[in-house]
Amino acid sequence: MLAGVFTPIVAEQLSKADFWHWHPHPEVWLLVAGIVGCYFYATRVVGPKVVAPGQPVITKAQRRWFIATVLTLWAAADWPIHDWAEGYLYSVHMVQHLMLTMLVAPMALLATPEWLPRVVLGRGRVYRGFRFCTRPLIAGGFYAAIFALGHWPKLVALQVENGPFHFMSHLVYVVAAMAMWNCVCGPLPELRISVPAQIGYLFLLSIPPTVPGGWLVFADSVVYKSYNHPYRLFGLSPVSDQQLAGFIMKVVGGFFLWIVIFVIFFRWNQRNEIEEKARREAEDREFWAGVEAAVAFGLKPKHRTLTFEDVEAEFKQATAPREPG
């Protein structure tokens, strides 16, 4: 994400070297090391002081999510993705943005223990401001607007030509994406919306990218002049490159959100089935306990209402009748 702040790479510079020539990005290494250091300090020094005795400071799942976040961020910000995205192919630039907004942002939230934002935000104005900014309508609208504005040709050209602006744009993308994902998988339970609302929310967010994505797919001329140069990576022409970028934005990005919707719905349905089964088992235990108590006292037990589930269960347990003869 920081790549390009100190060592900007443009097509003219890259054209003099092989596409696969390795370029060091120490600023990216410092960024990754800083994130790891801050997380280590928070979980090893701050966490034990604020977490109740006997409770884990960080779970194994959160640790795994953090490792995945760091590795994905590193891959998106370092060579070769950064170099190709900034100097050669807009389609790779699109992949880089999706990695930051669709992978890094939600995984970072899943890696964050609940106590950490409570310590940082407190209970006053900062918390109320954060809660307001992460409401679905505000956060989702801001993310959709930033994502659409980020594909304006003049801003894309500025990102390619200006390293600090490129870094700031990536920072804005990640912040907007984290605000957008917060109501789905954020660390604070009270800020997450209900599962049906999450499904509808993500469905609506899958629609806006189809507009610029379709525009790029069906454009028959070069939209982004910054990527129109004679040095072509993988033999992709400028038009084919931007069409591939539109396909990635429209299909791959939307398909990813649909996968998330499916996973959320499946887990929600599975959880409901488990809860329903536990409820029925509790009712059965209560009923038979009442029967036993009534028999023990010589009372007539209450009749139980026969349900379709009872009949279905009896049929499953019954053996098939033998044929005569």
What are the tens digits of pLDDT across the range 29-76?
A: 999 999 999 999 999 999 999 999 989 999 999 999 999 999 999 999
- For residue 98, is pLDDT > 50? yes
For residue 283, what pLDDT is reported? 76
Nearest residue to 145 via CA among 224, 208, 211, 102: 208
For residue 315, what pLDDT is reported? 61
pLDDT band at 301 (very low <50, low <70, confident <90, very high): low
For residue 317, what pLDDT is reported? 63
> Measured between alpha carbons, how far is 93 from 29 in angstroms, rounded to an integer?
20
pTM for the model: 0.82
Give the number of other Cβ atoms within 10 Å of residue 246's Cβ. 25
Say if 313 falls within a structural domain. no
Say if 5 falls within a structural domain. no
Tell me the average pLDDT across 116-126: 95
> Measured between alpha carbons, how far is 41 from 35 in angstroms, rounded to an integer?
10
Say if 306 falls within a structural domain. no
For residue 194, what pLDDT is reported? 96
Say if 279 falls within a structural domain. no
Domain, as residue range, for 85 = 11-256
Give the Cα-Cα-Cα angle 238, 215, 137 (nearest 5 degrees). Answer: 125
For residue 7, what pLDDT is reported? 41
What's the pLDDT tens digit per position in 123-178?
999 999 999 999 999 999 999 999 888 888 899 999 888 888 888 999 999 999 99
Say if 82 falls within a structural domain. yes
pLDDT band at 94 (very low <50, low <70, confident <90, very high): very high
What's the pLDDT tens digit per position in 239-298?
999 999 999 998 999 899 999 999 999 999 998 888 888 888 787 777 777 666 666 666
Nearest residue to 74 via CA among 55, 54, 99, 106: 99
Say if 55 falls within a structural domain. yes
Q: Which residues of 263-297 are buried (b: 16+ CB within 10 A; e: fewer)?
A: ebeeeeeeeeeeeeeeeeeeeeeeeeeeeeeeeee
What's the pLDDT tens digit per position in 225-250?
888 877 778 888 999 999 999 999 98
Say if 123 falls within a structural domain. yes
Domains of the chain: total: 1
Question: Which residue did the predictor score with more confidence, 184 or 23?
Answer: 184
Say if 310 falls within a structural domain. no
pLDDT band at 311 (very low <50, low <70, confident <90, very high): low
For residue 139, what pLDDT is reported? 97
For residue 10, what pLDDT is reported? 44
- E strand or H helix that includes residue 245: helix 238-247
